[in-house]
Amino acid sequence: MKSQTAGILVGGILPAFGYTAFALGTKIASQGGLGAGPLLVLVGAGCIAVGAIFWRFLPSGLDATTVGWALLAGVAWAAGTGLVSLALSRWGIPIAKLNPLYNTNTLLTVAVGLVVFGEWRQVNPWQLSAGAALILAGSLLVSAA
């Protein structure tokens, strides 16, 4: 298997199944009465367990900069997850509508990756633009359904 194919499988296809389980688990727990706070604590416990396994088998060093960015990533993710849980439990918004909307973060991530990290050198701009337009159109269609 080519390294590019392995990277796409390991970093793209397989995580899609994990994120699907996460979204569905969040819906079931939130609509079952679990508040955003307990949800985040329990999901965090799961993150700690899985993180410990990854750290054990893929050891890595720590420094203040990487720790700071990792904590910021966790805070941002937790805030987003808490808001999704709130929308599910308080207003009963279908996860089928929320998920495409909050996953428009893909477009923001692409934009930052292109500009800040200079990834524009590694992509086909026409394909990327077409894909981004389809993501946006799909999100708008799903949210209006």
Is the pLDDT reported for residue 143 higher than 90?
A: no
Q: Are residues 23 and 75 in the same domain?
A: yes
Confidence of residue 90 (pLDDT cuts 50, 70, 90): very high
Work out the mean pLDDT of the chain and round it to a whole number.
94
The terminus-to-terminus CA distance of the chain in angstroms comes to: 40
Question: Tokens for 45?
Answer: 């416990």
Instruction: Please write the tens of the pLDDT for every residue from 96-108.
Output: 999 989 999 989 9
Domain presence at residue 62: yes
How many structural domains is the chain composed of?
2
Which DSSP string do the residues of 73-126 spell out, in sequence order? HHHHHHHHHHHHHHHHHHH---HHHHHHHHTTHHHHHHHHHHHTS-GGGGS-HH
Band of pLDDT at residue 144, cut at 50, 70 and 90: confident
Last residue of one domain, picked from the residues 59, 74, 94: 94
- Residue 84 and residue 139 in one domain: no
Q: Is 99 within a domain?
A: no
Quickly count: other Cβ atoms within 10 Å of residue 75's Cβ: 10
My answer on whether 23 and 84 are in the same domain is yes
Residue 67 sits in the same domain as residue 39: yes
Secondary structure (3-state) at 2: coil
> Angle of helix 95-102 relative to helix 14-31, nearest 10 degrees?
130
Domain check: are 67 and 124 in the same one? no
Same domain, 80 and 112: no
Same domain as 82, residue 108: no
- pLDDT at residue 37, as a whole number: 97
Domain, as residue range, for 18: 3-94
Q: Looking at the structure, tell me whether residues 73 and 53 fall in a common domain.
A: yes
**What's the pTM?**
0.85
